[in-house]
Structure 1
Amino acid sequence: MADFLMPSLGADMDEGTLVQWEVAPGDTVRRGQVVAVVETAKGAIDVEIFRDGVVEELLVEPGTTVPVGQPIARLRECGEAEPTPGPAPAPATATAEPDTARVRASPAARRQAEALGIDLEALAGSGPDGAITLEDVGRAGSARESMAEAVAPAPAKPAAPGRPVDIRGAIAAAMSRAKREIPHYYLGHWVDLSPANEWLADWNASHPVAERLLPAVLMLRAVALAAARFPDFNGFWRDGKFVAGDGVHVGTAISLRRGGLVAPALKNADRHSLPELMDAFRDLVGRARAGRLTGSELLGGTITVSSLGEQGVEEVYPVIYPPQVAIVGFGTPVERPWVVGGRIEPRWLVRATLAADHRVSDGRRGALFLEAVTGLLQEPETL
């Protein structure tokens, strides 16, 4: 038997509100399956299970806010025997009230039935061996309410006020921790984007609108390939040591419409073609702004890219997102005079910056990493 805990879906998360369960007691689940939706400062997030098994019990009702690390469900391994029931109660006399303890039902279902005044013996269970689940009780309660409304409709209940979420405060807390605990060092470098822009213009001119690429995707791909070459920038600082990532999963900073940022990961970004990466990027941005990311996307990044796009700021010095050990920033591309082959020409330049953890790498390694990013962007046909 194992407890499924309220997961930490980011360094800025201390608690979460369970919005809904996607499973019921008795359901068989597989590792990576979405089992719940949790509301955090970053929106509603689909939470996946960490192992295969059978849902034994749901410990938290939807709408409940619980701290990170608190058990919210109980899981048993596939094939593991169900817990042995306790000794049967003494037989009831002819005049005694029905003893609902003899009815197979989960503790959560019993509590809900008691709260709603529902007789468990009157219900048919849909769980294993006919056990009554929380959903069975909920359906019975809904049916009873529907019958009551048909006789005398009740006035509409006002919606419960939502709990205000301090997004800025949550982000500030995480970044304060990062600056306090991670010994940052910063490097900056101008990158000539003219070859990438020319290649991109040719690509987009020869493809339909739906298949066109954004400059940001070239930058993401260049960082991914450089991180594969320099694995000491691709991973985590955990328990006093560096742990390499199990792949190159590039987190991309996305601004939310209601304020704040999230940085979900593009998994195995070094293994996908530019069109594949563009499709994944478009999907990720859409779901991030709709508040429908998964926990593994929020937690899976091994290195992050923060790009200001067309915001008009030439340089960005980002803060490392713990427990990662590096983040790359790109400012707004600008047209400037640049020396090419001994001649001064107008070129499109972008300022690339690297923030890295000095416990894992140093300035020399950081310079080589940025040089690799630069070389890839100047040879876009290799991306």
Structure 2
Amino acid sequence: MTLNKFNLPDVGEGLTEAEIVSWKVKAGDTVAINDVLCEIETAKSLVELPSPFAGTVTELLVPEGVTIDVGTPIISVTDAAAGTPTAAPPAAAVLHETTTVAAPMYGTLTTETSDAGESAGRPAGGPLVGSGPKADAVKRRRRVSATPVAEPAPAVPLPTRSLTSPARPGNPAGVAPGSTTAAVPVEPVASPERAAPAGDPERPTLGGAISGLVNKVLAKPPVRKIARDLGIDLADVVPTGARGEVTREDLVSYQAQRDAEVDKADTFWGKSGRPQEQRIERIPVKGVRKATAKAMVESAFAAPHVSIFVDVDASRTMEFVKRLKVSRDFEGIKVSPLLILAKAVIWAAARNPSVNATWVDSPDGSDSAEIHVKHFMNLGIAAATPRGLMVPNIKNAQDLSLKELALALNELATTARAGKTQPAQMQGGTLTVTNIGALGIDTGTPIINPGEVAIVAFGTIKQKPWVLDGEVIPRWITTLGGSFDHRVVDGDLSARFMADVAAILEEPALLLD
């Protein structure tokens, strides 16, 4: 047997640490090459780690929720040494017995499914789960009421011969003394008599025999409906009616008491009587949130931001999107105004190249620096995900047709929401768009993504009064907000760029030029 230890790899460029989010295997499991071992959260995204070994998991070396450095052993796997006989090898081992182990491509999502069944680890000849006699084979009587029957004390044995006890005065149902509900005859009764009234306690009826066993709650139909609407179990309400029934006033009193108890219970704010120190929730900053915070601080204080805004009549963009949605070429493709904005940003950047650039300081710390203008567009789309803010980008977006760009946006959004965005997808961005309008926000002053010099915020589109040809009419209006690195983008350049983006939203036909 050979013991192999798998060290945490660098699944991105320059990754130094990662958190073990969840294990997909446990000790004793059989794994094949490329079977997913665990999910890790890096500073960029959630990544699945495939196994570089085939064999049996012996130990998980790092628990879930722990952040470790690259190179730390996380799991050990044993494989069968050559020439060592093994009894009934699992199907996964048979499938991979001729496979040559090569260097794994860490961070890929492609997995190989093993054909080994769950029964591989079961002892031969062991009983199936649930086989054998049941612990309680006593046949239960049929319920005569929808009201739950009080459970018998577990320490009281169930007499098996009490079902044949003869009837006698005071015990017409043949219930043996000291017996439980199992002593009630199991034969269904066609029409059981009603329980004796409170003033005639000695009238022997079947209802009287089981009155202590079945707690039927008395209440009129309107009261029962009110209880159902309020989610109140009538059995929990103390009845005050003349015949022992629950009244409307009883429900009102019970609901008031329940509301008072809820008011006293812990809420988001916690109990005011507790010390403030006990009412502070501490959330560790790690993973995507940690990387985002660091990047935003560096960008905000390293690049001098300047922001400008422009109101845009996007009515023709809305009409264009509507036509695309019913077009056969875009059938099955989600289309939104964000698609037109993305195309507008690409078009405007080609007319104003310096917004698609990077400021590069001198590596020796001197005052010399360079501006790198990119002749390609890796368009970043800021995405809010359950794991935090991510900015994946569409590579070479300038080469994509409108349909191809729509497909790329759909794939990017789906992957980001699922938390499956890979580190490579968030590297090398050149210009970013953030769609804050999806949250109903008009505009904002976004922070530039590190390594870039411009970002465009897309506000919500809604109908507003707009002056057109001297007349006030309702139009679909949005507000664009742009932030720029003033070391690279001057006021004139930023204004021309934003004006070009606005021109496309006002007249999408310009894209055909």
> TM range, normalised to the smaller chain?
0.5 to 0.7
Partner of 2:12: 7
Which of 375, 378, 383 is equivalent to 1:249? 378
8 Å CA contact 1:6–1:66 kept in 2: the answer is no
Q: Deviations over 1:218-249 (max 9, x none)?
A: 11111111112222111323344222235111
My pick for the range that moved more, 274-283 or 286-295, is 286-295
Note the C-alpha offset of 1:290: 1.7
Q: Secondary structure at the match of 1:210?
A: coil
Q: After TM superposition, list the pairs within 5 Å mapping 1:36-47 onto structure 2.
A: 39-45=41-47
User: Structure 1: how far apart are the matches of 2:307 and 2:380?
Assistant: 19
Pick one of 455, 459, 474 that aligns with 1:346. Answer: 474
- Counterpart amino acid of 2:356? N
AA aligned to 1:245 is: K
**2:509 — aligned with what?**
381
Match of 2:304 in 1: 183
2:414 corresponding residue in structure 1: 286
- Checking the alignment, whether the CA contact within 8 Å between 2:312 and 2:478 is kept in structure 1 is yes
After TM superposition, give the deviation of residue 41 of structure 1 in Å. 4.8
Q: 1:38 to 1:382 in 2, by over 3 A?
A: farther
How far apart are residue 321 of structure 1 and its match? 0.9
Q: Using the alignment, how far apart are the partners of 1:42 and 1:370 within structure 2?
A: 30
Q: Aligned equivalents of 2:371 and 2:299: distance in 1?
A: 16
Q: Does 1:217 align with 2:339?
A: yes
Q: Deviations over 1:327-349 (max 9, x none)?
A: 11011112222222232222111
RMSD of aligned residue pairs (Cα, Å): 4.1
SS of structure 2 residue aligned to 1:196: helix
- Cα separation, partners in 2 of 1:362 and 1:125, compared to 1, 3 Å: same
Alignment partners' CA distance in 1, 2:103 and 2:42: 31
Amino acid at match of 1:181: A
**Map of 2:499 onto structure 1:** 371
CA distance in 2, matches of 1:178, 1:315: 20
Query: Relative to structure 1, is the Cα distance of residues 315 and 117 closer, same or farther in structure 2, using a 3 angstrom cutoff?
Result: closer
Structure 1 distance, partners of 2:103, 2:397, is 46
Cα distance change of structure 1 residues 273 and 37 upon mapping to structure 2, 3 Å threshold: farther
**Structure 1 residues 147 and 274, CA gap change in structure 2 (3 angstroms):** closer
SS at match of 2:332: helix
* Secondary structure in 2 matching 1:376: helix
Aligned to 2:360: 238
What secondary structure does 1:368 align onto? helix
- Name 1:228's counterpart in structure 2: 350
The question of whether the paired residues in 2 share the 8 Å contact of 1:310 and 1:333 is answered with no
Q: What is the identity, as a one-letter code, of the residue corresponding to 2:17?
A: E
Letter matched to residue 278 of structure 1: A
Which stretch shows the higher mean deviation, 372-381 or 165-174?
Answer: 165-174
Bigger CA radius of gyration: 2
CA contact (8 A) 1:199 1:381 kept: no
SS at match of 2:399: coil
| Paired AA for residue 215 in structure 1 | P
**Aligned with residue 432 of structure 2, among 299, 304, 309:** 304
Whether 1:328 aligns to 2:450 is no
> CA separation in 1, counterparts of 2:354 and 2:501?
15
Contact 2:45–2:422 (Cα < 8 Å) also in 1: no
- The amino acid across from 1:307 in the alignment is N
Closer/same/farther in 2, CA of residues 204 and 148 from structure 1, 3 Å limit: closer
Paired residues of 2:43 and 2:290 also in contact (CA < 8 A): no
**Aligned partners of 2:39 and 2:47 also within 8 Å:** yes
Query: Where does structure 1 lack aligned partners over 5 or more consecutive residues?
Result: 25-35, 48-60, 73-107, 134-142, 154-162
User: In structure 2, do the counterparts of structure 1 residues 345 and 132 end up closer, same or farther at CA, with 3 Å as the change threshold?
Assistant: closer
The Cα offsets for residues 168-215 of structure 1, whole Å up to 9 and x where unpaired, read as 444222211211111111111111101211222233244465145211
| Conserved 8 A contact 1:336-1:349 | yes
Contact 1:8–1:14 (CA under 8 A) maintained in structure 2 = no
8 Å contact kept, 1:325–1:360: yes
Is residue 213–residue 275 contact of structure 1 (8 Å, CA) maintained in 2?
no
**Shift in CA distance, 149/234, structure 1 to aligned 2, threshold 3 Å:** same
Which runs of structure 2 are paired with 1:124-203 in the superposition (5 Å)?
127=100, 150=123, 165=286, 167-203=288-324
How many Å separate the matches in 2 of 1:330 and 1:250? Answer: 14
Greater CA deviation, 353-362 or 308-317?
308-317
Q: Distance in 2 between matches of 1:264 and 1:220?
A: 14
Q: Distance in 2 between matches of 1:117 and 1:127?
A: 13
Residue correspondence of structure 1 range 263-282 to structure 2 within 5 A: 263-282=391-410
Report the secondary structure of 1:222's partner residue.
helix
Q: For each residue in 1:37-61, what CA deviation from the matched residue of structure 2 results, as whole angstroms up to 9, or x when unmatched?
A: 86325532489xxxxxxxxxxxxx9
Q: 1:166 to 1:381 in 2, by over 3 A?
A: same
Q: Which segment is superposed worse, 343-352 or 319-328?
A: 343-352
List runs of 5+ in structure 2 lacking aligned partners.
1-8, 25-31, 50-59, 86-96, 105-115, 127-283, 363-369
Cα distance between partner residues in 2 of 1:43 and 1:344: 48
Q: Pick closer, same or farther for the CA change 1:332–1:5 going to 2, 3 Å.
A: same
1:54-73 to structure 2, matched below 5 A, reads 67=69
Percent identity between the aligned chains?
A: 30
Q: What is the rounded CA distance, in whole Å, between the counterparts of 1:151 and 1:287 in structure 2? A: 43
- Work out the CA distance in 1 between the residues paired with 2:121 and 2:300: 58
Q: Is the 8 A contact 1:6 1:71 kept in 2?
A: no
Q: Structure 1 residues 148, 39: CA separation in 2 closer, same or farther (over 3 Å shift)?
A: same
Alpha-carbon distance change, 7 to 375 in structure 1, aligned in 2, over 3 angstroms: same
Query: Which AA in structure 2 matches 1:287?
Result: T
> How many angstroms apart in 2 are the aligned matches of 1:312 and 1:271?
31
Sort the Cα spacing of 1:212 and 1:291 in 2 relative to 1 into closer, same or farther, 3 A: closer
Alpha carbons 1:232, 1:244 under 8 Å: kept:
yes
Number of corresponding residues: 289
